[in-house]
């Protein structure tokens, strides 16, 4: 028995196959690891889907095949399957104790190469290498069909490898080689007719996918078609077929998000667009920065922007891991009023964007995240209005979870058009919400923010900068809070927008400055600075400043903001130059 | 002789567990996986299983006590538990789990509660039997079989000397040692 297992000690394929096993049951992880080791495979185990995705993203070429359980607590196995398929294009095997036909069919639909039933036998695992081999063969065939030369080359390589028995033993080499070959081809345009006829294995990298999402957003999800996307993407070596198949996967992904967002949207009824979170994210250009990883659900929240964000959302999702710090993973406690977009935080690990936590407000966060993280990426202007509205709501929720507002330095840059700012504001709010406990119920006042805000926003930024100086942590908290309050108070559309923006920015600032994670103050500052008058909310920001340093401030702020709100803060700061430092300002 | 007797008793017990349906092929697989690198593999795995399953059982019990009962949640828990019990080859436990899931999907609270008691019972019976089984291995080793395995801490106190069990699989070697 054991001898049979230990026979493949030589370097021949499939020995050395690098397998990633994902299962929440530690007993099974242990058993599978042992079994795979007996097959002479290199095993890495993972108890959480998120960790698995992070591992896969860190080492793009580090694994040959993924084996995943279907029922996992943090993320659905099918979702993980889609992600892996979209981003890394690795063969994925699903496993489950449930062998119902419908489940198996779902697995295959989502792209699983195989579906194993538990308890899993050793012999089933010994044959998983065939999936890896099959994929490589297909790649070669694709190449051959278009470019016989290359195909020959590749097959020659392969045969050489297999002859040596090193093919898979040196997976890195072969796969890397294949990839390199492909890439070389891309670069050299050796194919000849590369732009339209070359058909090689396309690796949908993060950048490529972002381009794709952007193109889809531009066209409009409903009217999208592979040809249009291809034209917009303007990637010479990509073919229509590549785009078509990727679009199919993407649609599946979106529809799933849509369902989730629908569920989540129940909070705010935000269902803006049918577009899954992806959209919002997409538009913001958050690409990669936004990775609001929050689970897809969160992404759905982004729907708010449905309008244009469409493509982006995808980026966000995919890039969950990518957002460095910017990650606005709004940890929306979901319910966040923002519902529109922010919902995600739940799952998203705060890792990505420090933001997301800070934003906590799910929706808000998202926005904030977007804004923040996307330092200047927002192109939101278009949808922002709509979104903002929704965002506003979430903003209130701020409390949710800002705890983490990581100083989003980039956020300042968010400057984002007024629209964005609104979002940011909301997000900022959400951040503050954390601290402030969401006293602020920012209503979708944003609806109106005009671009005028934008201009204001800029000044704010400077103002914001000031804040960071003050008390980083507090500021942020305060800001966030402020932002919220401003958002709330600014119920007026315009003031709101500005305040939102400012808040947002402040939030960002806070985030950035307040590494402490108490961003609340940040928002305030933002609003304060720039809203020349309109922003009542701005005022909030100011008051916050004073309190920044006082952690307790944040909680106080809400009340204070409320006062401000009611009090009719005519915006103490008419001048955009409102120095944030003036904390004592207005607190209304 | 003494060792042979121990060994034989152990083998007999295993055979009876298999015949009676307490354990299945999966358990044999686990034993086959055990080797010099992991001399206590089976024992460790069983221990891990029992540690985790206790938690699941508690969760299920709590959920059953809720009013109204959250059937989808129960279904989810039980699926996990079933998958887990299939990992060590606990057939009877697994079968009871299947019945529970059926009742759950039919939203039959009474059926669920009844079946759950069965699940717990089978779970406990198997645990006792496995403890005895590993105890046998331990005593067999204590009876004189040379210890081949490094000592490992196992949560089961009874499994302390189970490490020698790995000899069990390599019957030739075992007999050689037993001489």
pLDDT digits (tens, 9 = 90+) for B71-106: 888 888 888 899 899 888 888 998 999 999 999 889
CB contact under 8 A, A71 and B76: yes
Q: Which domain holds residue A249?
A: 206-262
CB contact under 8 A, A31 and B33: yes
CB contact under 8 A, A27 and B41: no
> Using CA atoms, how far apart are residues A312 and A212, in angstroms rounded to an integer?
9
Chain B residues in contact with A98 by the CB 8 A cut-off are 79
Asked casually if ipTM beats, i.e. exceeds, 0.85, the reply is: no
Interface of A with B (CB under 8 A): 1-2, 5, 24-28, 30-31, 34-35, 38, 69, 71, 96-98, 118-119, 121-122
- Asked which of A243, A262, A281 is the last residue of a domain, the reply is A262
What region does A102 belong to: left with phi over 0, alpha with psi -120 to 50, or beta? alpha
SS3 B74: helix
CB contact under 8 A, B79 and A2: no
Three-state SS sequence of A172-186: HHHHHHHHHHHHHHH
A24 lies in the same domain as A128 = yes
> Using CA atoms, how far apart are residues B125 and A245, in angstroms rounded to an integer?
53
H helix or E strand, kind and range, residue A67: strand A65-69
Residue A174 lies in a domain: no
- pLDDT tens across the length of chain A (588 residues): 433 343 333 356 778 889 999 998 999 999 999 999 888 899 999 999 988 989 888 887 888 899 999 988 888 888 888 888 888 888 999 999 888 899 899 888 888 999 999 888 888 888 888 888 888 888 888 877 766 554 455 555 555 555 544 444 444 444 444 444 444 444 444 434 444 444 456 778 778 888 888 888 888 877 778 888 888 887 888 888 888 888 888 888 888 888 878 877 665 444 444 444 344 333 333 333 333 344 333 333 333 333 333 334 334 344 433 433 333 333 434 333 333 333 333 333 333 333 333 333 333 333 333 333 333 333 333 333 333 333 344 333 333 333 343 443 333 333 334 434 333 333 333 333 333 333 333 343 333 434 334 334 333 433 333 433 343 434 333 443 343 433 333 334 343 334 434 444 444 444 444 334 343 334 444 333 333 434 343 444 344 444 444 444 444 444 444 444 444 444 444 444 444 444 444 444
A22 lies in the same domain as A141 = yes
Please give the residue that has the higher pLDDT: either A472 or B25. B25
> Using CA atoms, how far apart are residues B86 and A161, in angstroms rounded to an integer?
39
What is the per-residue pLDDT for A508?
A: 44
**Residue B128 burial by Cβ neighbours in a 10 Å radius (0-12, 13-18, 19+):** exposed
- What's the token pair of residue A303? 């729907």
Any idea what the CATH number is for the domain that residue A76 is in? 3.40.50.2300
Chain A residues in contact with B38 by the CB 8 A cut-off are 34
Residue A509 lies in a domain: no
Residue A225 lies in a domain: yes
Q: Which one of A27, A37, A70 would you mutate to disrupt binding with B, by most B Cβ within 10 Å of its Cβ?
A: A27
Rounded to a whole number of angstroms, the distance from the CA of A121 to the nearest CA of chain B is: 8
Rounded to a whole number of angstroms, the distance from the CA of A97 to the nearest CA of chain B is: 5
What φ, ψ does residue A92 adopt, rounded to 5°? -125, 135
> Using CA atoms, how far apart are residues B169 and A18, in angstroms rounded to an integer?
29
Chain B residues in contact with A38 by the CB 8 A cut-off are 33
- Asked which of A242, A262, A282 is the last residue of a domain, the reply is A262
Chain A residues in contact with B25 by the CB 8 A cut-off are 119
H helix or E strand, kind and range, residue A440: none
Residue A475 lies in a domain: no
Chain A residues in contact with B75 by the CB 8 A cut-off are none
Please give the residue that has the higher pLDDT: either A473 or B27. B27
DSSP A121: P
CB-CB contact of A332 with A363 (8 Å)? yes
A61 lies in the same domain as A141 = yes
The fold adopted by the segment(s) B1-142 is 1.20.120
- Asked which of A227, A245, A262 is the last residue of a domain, the reply is A262
Chain B residues in contact with A118 by the CB 8 A cut-off are 83, 86-87
Burial of A470-483, coded b for 16+ CB within 10 Å and e otherwise, reads bbbbbbbbbbbbbb
Residues written for chain A: 588
H helix or E strand, kind and range, residue A84: none
CB contact under 8 A, A119 and B80: no
pLDDT category of residue B170 using cuts at 50, 70 and 90: low
pLDDT category of residue B121 using cuts at 50, 70 and 90: very high
User: Which member of B35, B45, B89 has the closest CB to residue A119?
Assistant: B89
CB contact under 8 A, B44 and A35: no
Instruction: Name residue A42's beta-bridge partners.
Output: A18
CB contact under 8 A, B83 and A118: yes
> Using CA atoms, how far apart are residues B121 and B115, in angstroms rounded to an integer?
10
What is the per-residue pLDDT for A93?
A: 93
Residue A48 lies in a domain: yes
What is the per-residue pLDDT for B65?
A: 86
What is the per-residue pLDDT for A155?
A: 55
Residues 118-177 of B with CB under 8 A from A: 169
Domain ranges of chain B: 1-142
What φ, ψ does residue A19 adopt, rounded to 5°? -110, 140
SS3 A46: strand
Decide the pairing of beta strands A42-46 and A92-96: unpaired
Q: Which one of B24, B29, B50, B85 would you mutate to disrupt binding with A, by most A Cβ within 10 Å of its Cβ?
A: B29
> Using CA atoms, how far apart are residues A191 and A525, in angstroms rounded to an integer?
56
A99 lies in the same domain as A216 = no
- What's the token pair of residue B179? 């001489």
Count the domains in chain A.
2
A122 lies in the same domain as A236 = no
A97 lies in the same domain as A22 = yes
A37 lies in the same domain as A137 = yes
Closest alpha carbon to A497 in A534, A472, A469, A550: A534
pLDDT category of residue B1 using cuts at 50, 70 and 90: low
Half-sphere exposure of residue A27: CA atoms within 13 angstroms, side-chain side: 30
Residue A107 lies in a domain: yes
CB-CB contact of A85 with A131 (8 Å)? no
* Cβ-proximal residues to A207 (8 Å cutoff; 6+ apart), any chain: none
Three-state SS sequence of B135-151: HHHHHHHHCCCCCCCCC
CB-CB contact of A206 with A58 (8 Å)? no
Percent over 70 (pLDDT), chain B:
78
User: Which member of A25, A96, A122 has the closest CB to residue B84?
Assistant: A25
pTM over 0.80: no
CA-based angle B56:B58:B59, to the nearest 5? 65
User: Which member of A28, A71, A121 has the closest CB to residue B79?
Assistant: A71
User: Which member of B32, B82, B83 has the closest CB to residue A2?
Assistant: B32
CB-CB contact of B49 with B85 (8 Å)? yes
* Cβ-proximal residues to A559 (8 Å cutoff; 6+ apart), any chain: A439
């Amino acid at each position: 028995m054991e001898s049979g297992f230990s026979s493949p000690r030589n370097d021949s394929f499939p020995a050395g196959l690098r397998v990633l096993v994902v299962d929440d049951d530690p007993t099974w992880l242990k058993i599978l690891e042992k079994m795979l080791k007996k097959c002479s495979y290199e095993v890495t185990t993972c108890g959480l889907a998120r960790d698995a995705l992070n591992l896969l993203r860190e080492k793009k070429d580090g694994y040959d095949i993924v084996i995943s359980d279907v029922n996992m607590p943090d993320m659905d196995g099918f979702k993980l399957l889609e992600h892996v398929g979209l981003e890394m294009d690795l063969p994925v095997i699903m496993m489950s104790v449930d062998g119902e036909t419908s489940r198996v069919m779902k697995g295959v639909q989502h792209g699983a190469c195989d579906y194993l039933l538990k308890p899993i036998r050793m012999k089933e695992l010994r044959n998983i290498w065939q999936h890896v081999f099959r994929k490589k063969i297909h790649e070669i065939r694709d190449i051959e069909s278009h470019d016989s030369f290359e195909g020959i080359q590749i097959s020659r390589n392969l045969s050489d490898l297999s002859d040596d028995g090193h093919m898979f033993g040196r997976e890195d080499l072969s796969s890397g080689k294949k990839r390199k070959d492909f890439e070389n081809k891309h670069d050299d345009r050796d194919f000849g007719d590369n732009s339209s006829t070359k058909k090689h294995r396309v690796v949908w990298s993060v950048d490529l996918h972002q381009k794709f999402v952007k193109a889809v957003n531009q066209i409009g999800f409903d009217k999208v078609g592979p040809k249009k996307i291809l034209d917009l993407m303007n990637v010479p070596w990509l073919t229509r077929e590549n785009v078509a198949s990727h679009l199919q996967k993407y649609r599946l992904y979106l529809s799933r998000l849509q369902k989730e967002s629908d569920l989540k949207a129940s909070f705010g009824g935000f269902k803006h667009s049918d577009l899954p979170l992806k959209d919002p994210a997409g538009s913001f250009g958050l690409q990669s920065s936004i990775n609001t990883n929050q689970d897809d659900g969160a992404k759905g929240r982004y729907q708010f922007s449905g309008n244009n964000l469409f493509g982006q959302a995808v980026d966000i999702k995919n890039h969950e891991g990518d957002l460095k710090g910017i990650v606005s993973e709004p940890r929306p406690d979901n319910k966040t009023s923002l519902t529109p977009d922010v919902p995600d935080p739940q799952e998203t690990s705060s890792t990505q964007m420090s933001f997301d936590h800070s934003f906590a407000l799910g929706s808000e966060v998202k926005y904030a995240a977007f804004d923040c993280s996307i330092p200047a990426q927002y192109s939101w202007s278009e949808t922002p209005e709509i979104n903002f509205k929704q965002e506003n709501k979430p903003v209130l929720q701020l409390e949710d979870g800002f705890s983490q507002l990581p100083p989003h330095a980039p956020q300042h840059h968010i400057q984002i058009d007024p629209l964005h700012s609104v979002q940011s504001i909301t997000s900022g709010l959400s951040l503050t919400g954390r601290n402030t406990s969401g006293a602020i119920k920012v209503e979708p006042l944003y609806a109106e923010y005009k671009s005028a805000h934008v201009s204001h926003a800029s000044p704010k930024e400077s103002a914001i900068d000031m804040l960071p100086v003050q008390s980083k942590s507090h500021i942020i908290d305060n800001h966030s809070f402020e932002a919220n309050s401003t958002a709330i108070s600014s119920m007026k559309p315009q003031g709101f927008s500005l305040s939102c923006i400012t808040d947002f920015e402040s939030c960002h600032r806070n985030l950035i400055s307040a590494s402490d994670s108490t961003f609340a103050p940040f928002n305030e500052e933002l609003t304060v600075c720039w809203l020349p008058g309109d922003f009542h909310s701005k005022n909030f920001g100011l008051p916050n400043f004073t309190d920044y340093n006082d952690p307790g401030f944040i909680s106080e702020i809400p009340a204070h903001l409320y006062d401000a709100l009611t009090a009719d803060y005519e915006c103490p700061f008419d001048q955009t130059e409102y120095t944030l430092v003036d904390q004592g300002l207005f607190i209304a | 002789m003494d060792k042979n007797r121990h060994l034989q008793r152990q083998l007999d017990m295993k055979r009876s567990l298999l015949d009676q349906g307490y354990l299945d092929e999966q358990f044999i697989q686990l034993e086959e996986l055990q080797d010099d690198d992991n001399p206590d593999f089976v024992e460790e795995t069983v221990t891990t299983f029992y540690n985790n399953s206790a938690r699941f059982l508690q969760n299920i019990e709590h959920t059953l006590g809720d009013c109204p009962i959250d059937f989808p949640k129960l279904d989810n828990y039980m699926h996990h538990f079933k998958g887990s019990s299939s990992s060590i080859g606990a057939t009877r436990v697994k079968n009871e789990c299947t019945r529970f899931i059926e009742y759950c999907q039919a939203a039959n609270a009474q059926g669920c509660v009844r079946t759950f008691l069965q699940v717990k019972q089978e779970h406990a019976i198997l645990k006792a039997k496995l403890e005895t089984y590993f105890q046998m291995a331990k005593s067999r080793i204590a009876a004189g079989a040379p210890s081949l395995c490094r000592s490992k801490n196992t949560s089961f106190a009874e499994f302390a000397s189970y490490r020698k069990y790995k000899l069990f699989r390599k019957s030739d070697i075992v007999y050689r040692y037993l001489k």
